A and B are shown apart, each in its own frame.
Chain A
Amino acid sequence: MSYLLLIFLPIVLSLLVYFITRNTGSAKYMALGFFVVMLIHSTYLYTQLPESGYMLLGSFLNIKAFDFELVLQVDRLSVIMLLLTSILLILVALSSWTVKKQAAYFSLLIFFSGAIFGVFMSTNFMWFFIFWELTLIPMYFLVGIWGAEGRVYAAVKFFLYTHVASMFILLAFFLIYKQSGTFDMTLIKDAVLVTPALIWWLLFVGFAVKMPLFPFHTWLPDAHVQAPAPVSVLLAGVLLKMGAYAMIRMVILMLPLQAQKYAWVILVLGLLSLLYAGFMALYETHVKKMVAYSSISHMGLVAIAISAISFDSLSAGLYEMIGHAFIISPLFLIAGFLHHKTGSWQMGDMGGIMQKAPYISAIFVLAGLGALGLPATMGFIGEITILISAIETYGTWLIIILLGSMLSAAYLIWTFRRVIYGEMSELVMKTDFTMSKPEFISLVIFAIFIVLFGIYPQPLFDMINQTFSAYTSIGGAL
């Protein structure tokens, strides 16, 4: 029963938090405390996991007639996602310390945490889908209320775009139920389905929008730019990862035969995302849009890793997912911070920020170097492992993914030049760049993660490797 609480309590609690803290301003402490509890709990779950397979946490709401049971099960992949999510939620709470209308904001965050935990813990398609959609609601309000100038357009576009994509997923789930008679995702295999190819395509489009892959990515730059910076972190660090997580599950567990057949689709779209978004970022003069396109470009790398479908490549892909979350988040936070302080998005208006705010600039440069794949950062480990494993599967020509590496070097170094270095612009000269302590602490924690797991990635890879070696033993496609 306690696991049910982990999901539904926050959803209920969020209302309660709102009414209790509406006048006191203590919502942030409650949220932070709650997320810490979630982290502790996820860590506990990780220690309890069996060597391979799922750990059943209980099944609820058992209505036999509809096969509507809420089955909560976790395996290593889900727990890794839970850990990542709860760490990011803590850091997001810290970096939202000075946000306006706190009670509502933090209760929406708590609501979101419940829904996202539901996504990673449920193995029943119906419930998976309900939670999947439920994450949209708090996100919609977070972008729509706390966002920048064009927030309403961005929020509606984000909501509708991802919602339409979800219809594909829902359709696929119905087809699965019709053809196999079960909503249990652990039981689904190509063999039990009548039209696996159709289902593969429907699911692929649904997940590709979430990831996002070219050409389904256009909701992301808008949503990212308009969202408040901490919400951008949630979007990039958690919401996009839902897509990649579902893609991994589909590729190796649910429809391995179709995935082998259509791996080239993921590969081609991944490559296109990588290069297309790289060029977009190169041409962009809007700081946060540049970061958003860089984010898409890196998710393209993750897609390439998933498409290679090998033990090595999936490990590399999962690592890159985690690395991407830690690298892109400080970039978003600082881009949002700069806009908040200067009132401008344009790189041309900035310059010489290093002279006014050296430590914030240094973290921006460090995260940027991570994004361009400098050794001793998580970005490098992700890049080299994906390169090696992609060449293993596809052969020599996959070295073209390094073109993405060159592009990211070009746009990031050029961004540093325009924003961080050079002579101080008038706007920068008259702006005060003081940051609240909790916000700065969250940036430092991100920086520590980037370097720590960049130099010593083995602990992370131990977790990841166990995940995928476990799948081989339960009949995954590896």
Chain B
Amino acid sequence: MNIEIYFLLLLPFVGAVATFIAGKQNKNLAFWFAETIGIILFLLTFYTFITFSEPLSFDFNWFTFGETTLPFGIYIDNLSLVMLLIATGLGALDIHFAHDYMAEEKDQARYYAKILFFIGGMILLVSAKELTGLFVGWEFMGLASYLLISFWHQNTAPADAGVAAFLYTKFGDIFLFASIGLLFYYAGTLDMMKLNQPAVNGMISTSVTHMIAIFIFIAAIGKSGQFPLFPWLMRAMEGPTTVSALIHGATMVNSGIYIVARLFDFYVAAEALIVVAAVAALSAFIGATSALVQDELKKVLAYSTMSHLSLAFIGLGAGSLAAGMTHLVNHAIFKALLFLAAGAVILSAHHVKDLWRLGGLSHKLTLSAIFMGMGVLSLSGIPPFSGFFSKDAVLASTILNPQTYGLISTLTIIAGVLSIAYAGRLWTLIFAGRPRDKELYDKVQTPSKFWIALPLGAMAAATLVLGNYQEELTHFITKKDHIKLHVSWLLPFMMIVLSFLVFLVYYFYNRRPNLREKVSAQPLMKTIRQVLLNGYYIEAMITWFAKNIVVNVVARSISWSEKHIIDGAVNGMIHVSHATFVLFGRTHSAKVSNQAGAMLLGALAIVMIIFIGSVL
């Protein structure tokens, strides 16, 4: 048996408890506990990766109720390993980064314990053999994200954001829960490897598998922030930036794509991939357009996450497991890089996140500017950075698949091109030009090289180096020999559009501020800007529905009926019995005349009864 796997699975949870206890004794211990555990987790994963030859599979039973046994097995194959490397590698760098970023935080013990719990949830999720284990990890991550987003729970906004994160993802989760029940009933197994086999999914009628596949995809929509369950992703920006990096890069949002990739053959059999691609294409468009106008540094990144996860879904939906998964890997790295770089900017700029107050920071934050620039280039899809290859592959797969050729591939191109614009805009607004807020600029401090720049540099190097190993990555994930990844004509096209757009963006925002104001003062532009700024008002609609329909109409009318009908009937009976009591109580008064009258009436009644009885 592989002892390192057990360590990998249990250490985060044991470590979280140990970190909490140690951190309560001594504030500084929490970080060192977490850092050590983070590095050990990565080393364990790396060791597994090096010694890996064939999938590791262990069968366990969780419990037996009645005659039914729920399994809880472990299965680690190439796909899981890639996810594990991302989660533990980026997780360790994130913990390292937090040393400075969270230095002023009093409650270190709670922070690091939750981070380890979060990473543990992801490890559990990707190493699960059955849907039960996956669901446990899935819910752990939902809980951890809730606790981390509302880490500063004493303030209103983070507390509200945590509620949003939990409820949006929980809405998806109940569909995953339902599909567990349904698969157990229809397929008799929850083993994801077996569900992929035609022998198992062929037994079930396609309409049922289609429904189950859609259910699982709804859960993925919730976790990976696709239309319409994405608003929590943007609200999640209320949490610490290191948490955003972890949620958006290393762990949580990847799990939605992972589950579709894990059940890829099941989705093929269920003919549900086109639904995945369609929803994702819409999300890619919404995310990319909304990212264009955001004023807040982290919100730009949040919308770009949504858009890029959609691209990974589109890759899967177009039938290319390789394209979707490589894009997921590449995105995880450059998005964690971008978030941590954003964290470095925010830390240096004393927690100012408004893009219009930043600007010209490249002189003071040179290293951060360079590393973030590399992240931006990768996100924009510029060779030789890794983002280019996978984005290109996604686009190629949509064009090659006749089902997705057309609208979906067009939306993919739009999202791809727009990503150059918003990423360029983001970098330009932060680093280029002259400082807009002189007072703030003077206060900006250069962050520590070891604690801040090192993790950024490591990620930037990874996104650059990985660009040269895309073939190997694809080969490792799909276990197929040769996959042609990209369409060649896209490269020059992208380059031309890119240089044009970056120039435009730079010119538009920095050189001619008046022009920008003039354009955005137009009523039409103003409306469009408002719609995009608010993410197409999807959140407003969902909130309106929940508040006005679910609570104020359904729950309120039920509450009314409880008071006036269900309990009202009970109280009504009390009134009736009370009234009867009063009525008959009167006859029992002490007056002789009343009693005599009653006696007479009674006697009369008896005589009547006897008389009637004898006649009948």
Asked whether, in the complex, the Cβ of A399 is within 8 Å of the Cβ of B178, the reply is yes
Residue of A nearest to B170 (CB): A409
A124 in contact (CB, < 8 A) = no
A145 in contact (CB, < 8 A) = no
Instruction: Give the distance in Å from the alpha carbon of A283 to the alpha carbon of B549 in the complex.
Output: 12
Asked whether, in the complex, the Cβ of A405 is within 8 Å of the Cβ of B174, the reply is yes
Q: Which of B540-575 contact A (CB under 8 A)?
A: 550-551, 554-556, 558-559, 562, 566-567, 570
Partner of B555, one of A283, A395, A406: A283
Residue of A nearest to B561 (CB): A276
Instruction: Give the distance in Å from the alpha carbon of A461 to the alpha carbon of B166 in the complex.
Output: 30
Which of B63, B167, B170, B208 has the largest count of A CB atoms less than 10 A from its CB? B63
Asked whether, in the complex, the Cβ of B177 is within 8 Å of the Cβ of A387, the reply is yes
Residues of B close to A417: CB separation below 8 A:
159-160, 162-163
Asked whether, in the complex, the Cβ of B566 is within 8 Å of the Cβ of A218, the reply is yes
Asked whether, in the complex, the Cβ of A381 is within 8 Å of the Cβ of B181, the reply is no
Asked whether, in the complex, the Cβ of B551 is within 8 Å of the Cβ of A313, the reply is no
B65 in contact (CB, < 8 A) = yes
Instruction: Give the distance in Å from the alpha carbon of A380 to the alpha carbon of B558 in the complex.
Output: 27
A410 in contact (CB, < 8 A) = yes
Asked whether, in the complex, the Cβ of B167 is within 8 Å of the Cβ of A413, the reply is yes
B51 in contact (CB, < 8 A) = no
Instruction: Give the distance in Å from the alpha carbon of A315 to the alpha carbon of B551 in the complex.
Output: 34
Residues of A close to B135: CB separation below 8 A:
375
Partner of B63, one of A280, A372, A457: A457
Asked whether, in the complex, the Cβ of A405 is within 8 Å of the Cβ of B67, the reply is no
A391 in contact (CB, < 8 A) = yes
Known: A280-B558, A376-B136. A465 touches B64 (CB 8 A): yes
A9 in contact (CB, < 8 A) = no
Instruction: Give the distance in Å from the alpha carbon of A355 to the alpha carbon of B106 in the complex.
Output: 13
Instruction: Annotate A299-319 by CB proximity to B: 1 below 8 A, 0 otherwise.
Output: 000000000001111111001
Asked whether, in the complex, the Cβ of A374 is within 8 Å of the Cβ of B177, the reply is no
Instruction: Give the distance in Å from the alpha carbon of A163 to the alpha carbon of B185 in the complex.
Output: 42
Sort chain B's interface into a size bin: 35 or more
Instruction: Give the distance in Å from the alpha carbon of A424 to the alpha carbon of B62 in the complex.
Output: 42
Asked whether, in the complex, the Cβ of A315 is within 8 Å of the Cβ of B66, the reply is yes
Instruction: Annotate B159-194 by CB proximity to A: 1 below 8 A, 0 otherwise.
Output: 110110011001100100110111011000000000
Residues of A close to B170: CB separation below 8 A:
372, 406, 409, 413
Report the stretch among B148-156, B231-239, B436-444 that lies at the interface.
Answer: B148-156
Residues of A close to B550: CB separation below 8 A:
282
Instruction: Give the distance in Å from the alpha carbon of A84 to the alpha carbon of B416 in the complex.
Output: 61
Asked whether, in the complex, the Cβ of A399 is within 8 Å of the Cβ of B558, the reply is no
B274 in contact (CB, < 8 A) = no
B139 in contact (CB, < 8 A) = yes
Partner of B143, one of A283, A369, A388, A414: A369
Asked whether, in the complex, the Cβ of A312 is within 8 Å of the Cβ of B65, the reply is yes
For the residues of B in contact with A, the DSSP-based class is helix
Instruction: Give the distance in Å from the alpha carbon of A315 to the alpha carbon of B69 in the complex.
Output: 12
B66 to chain A, nearest CB (A): 3
Instruction: Annotate A223-259 by CB proximity to B: 1 below 8 A, 0 otherwise.
Output: 0000000000000000000000000000000000000
Instruction: Annotate A417-429 by CB proximity to B: 1 below 8 A, 0 otherwise.
Output: 1001111100000
Residue of B nearest to A387 (CB): B181
Residue of A nearest to B13 (CB): A376
Instruction: Give the distance in Å from the alpha carbon of A457 to the alpha carbon of B63 in the complex.
Output: 7
Partner of A405, one of B66, B166, B177, B184: B177
Residue of B nearest to A276 (CB): B558
Residues of A close to B184: CB separation below 8 A:
388, 391
A473 in contact (CB, < 8 A) = no
Asked whether, in the complex, the Cβ of A402 is within 8 Å of the Cβ of B551, the reply is no
Known: A399-B182, A402-B178. A422 touches B65 (CB 8 A): no
Instruction: Give the distance in Å from the alpha carbon of A372 to the alpha carbon of B170 in the complex.
Output: 10
Residues of A close to B556: CB separation below 8 A:
283
Asked whether, in the complex, the Cβ of B66 is within 8 Å of the Cβ of A465, the reply is yes
B218 to chain A, nearest CB (A): 12
Residues of A close to B162: CB separation below 8 A:
417, 421
A385 in contact (CB, < 8 A) = yes
A337 in contact (CB, < 8 A) = no
Asked whether, in the complex, the Cβ of B64 is within 8 Å of the Cβ of A461, the reply is yes
A215 in contact (CB, < 8 A) = yes
Partner of A313, one of B66, B166, B167: B66
Instruction: Annotate A205-233 by CB proximity to B: 1 below 8 A, 0 otherwise.
Output: 00000000011011100000000000000
Instruction: Give the distance in Å from the alpha carbon of A47 to the alpha carbon of B227 in the complex.
Output: 57
Instruction: Annotate B354-378 by CB proximity to A: 1 below 8 A, 0 otherwise.
Output: 0000000000000000000000000
Instruction: Give the distance in Å from the alpha carbon of A392 to the alpha carbon of B155 in the complex.
Output: 46
Asked whether, in the complex, the Cβ of B140 is within 8 Å of the Cβ of A215, the reply is no
Interface size on A, residues (CB 8 A): 65
Asked whether, in the complex, the Cβ of B180 is within 8 Å of the Cβ of A384, the reply is yes
A65 to chain B, nearest CB (A): 34
B68 in contact (CB, < 8 A) = yes
Residues of B close to A217: CB separation below 8 A:
566
Asked whether, in the complex, the Cβ of A316 is within 8 Å of the Cβ of B154, the reply is no
B200 in contact (CB, < 8 A) = no
A61 to chain B, nearest CB (A): 36
Residue of B nearest to A217 (CB): B566
Known: A384-B177, A392-B185, A417-B160. A218 touches B562 (CB 8 A): yes
Instruction: Give the distance in Å from the alpha carbon of A214 to the alpha carbon of B182 in the complex.
Output: 27
Residues of B close to A144: CB separation below 8 A:
none
B70 in contact (CB, < 8 A) = yes
Q: Which of A72-101 contact B (CB under 8 A)?
A: none
B155 to chain A, nearest CB (A): 7
B135 to chain A, nearest CB (A): 7
Residues of A close to B562: CB separation below 8 A:
218, 276, 280
Known: A218-B566, A282-B555. A465 touches B178 (CB 8 A): no
Partner of A424, one of B154, B177, B185: B154
A114 in contact (CB, < 8 A) = no
Which of B184, B558, B562 has the largest count of A CB atoms less than 10 A from its CB? B562
Asked whether, in the complex, the Cβ of A421 is within 8 Å of the Cβ of B140, the reply is no
Known: A375-B135, A424-B154. A389 touches B66 (CB 8 A): yes
Instruction: Give the distance in Å from the alpha carbon of A380 to the alpha carbon of B70 in the complex.
Output: 13
Instruction: Give the distance in Å from the alpha carbon of A387 to the alpha carbon of B70 in the complex.
Output: 13
Known: A311-B67, A413-B166, A468-B66. A406 touches B570 (CB 8 A): no
A352 in contact (CB, < 8 A) = yes
Partner of B174, one of A352, A406, A414: A406
Instruction: Annotate A342-360 by CB proximity to B: 1 below 8 A, 0 otherwise.
Output: 0000000000101100000
A279 in contact (CB, < 8 A) = yes
Residue of B nearest to A459 (CB): B63
Instruction: Give the distance in Å from the alpha carbon of A70 to the alpha carbon of B528 in the complex.
Output: 81
Instruction: Give the distance in Å from the alpha carbon of A284 to the alpha carbon of B64 in the complex.
Output: 37
A32 to chain B, nearest CB (A): 30
Residues of A close to B62: CB separation below 8 A:
457-458
A464 in contact (CB, < 8 A) = yes
Which of B66, B155, B163, B177 has the largest count of A CB atoms less than 10 A from its CB? B66
Residue of B nearest to A416 (CB): B163
Partner of B66, one of A312, A383, A398, A414: A312
Residue of B nearest to A409 (CB): B170
Residues of A close to B171: CB separation below 8 A:
406
Instruction: Give the distance in Å from the alpha carbon of A386 to the alpha carbon of B380 in the complex.
Output: 48
Asked whether, in the complex, the Cβ of A312 is within 8 Å of the Cβ of B68, the reply is yes
Asked whether, in the complex, the Cβ of A319 is within 8 Å of the Cβ of B65, the reply is yes
Asked whether, in the complex, the Cβ of B156 is within 8 Å of the Cβ of A315, the reply is no
Asked whether, in the complex, the Cβ of B140 is within 8 Å of the Cβ of A375, the reply is yes
Asked whether, in the complex, the Cβ of A413 is within 8 Å of the Cβ of B181, the reply is no
Asked whether, in the complex, the Cβ of A279 is within 8 Å of the Cβ of B65, the reply is no
Asked whether, in the complex, the Cβ of A409 is within 8 Å of the Cβ of B167, the reply is yes
Residues of B close to A24: CB separation below 8 A:
none
Contacts A396-B185, A423-B155 aside, 4 further interface pairs with beta carbons under 8 A come to A279-B559, A352-B154, A405-B177, A421-B150
A/B interface sample: 14 pairs, CB < 8 A: A280-B562, A282-B550, A313-B66, A315-B66, A384-B177, A384-B180, A399-B181, A399-B182, A403-B174, A406-B174, A413-B146, A413-B163, A424-B154, A458-B63
Q: Considering the complex of A and B, which 9 residue pairs feature the smallest CB-CB distances, nearest first? A: A312-B66, A283-B555, A218-B567, A375-B136, A311-B66, A399-B178, A421-B153, A421-B159, A315-B66
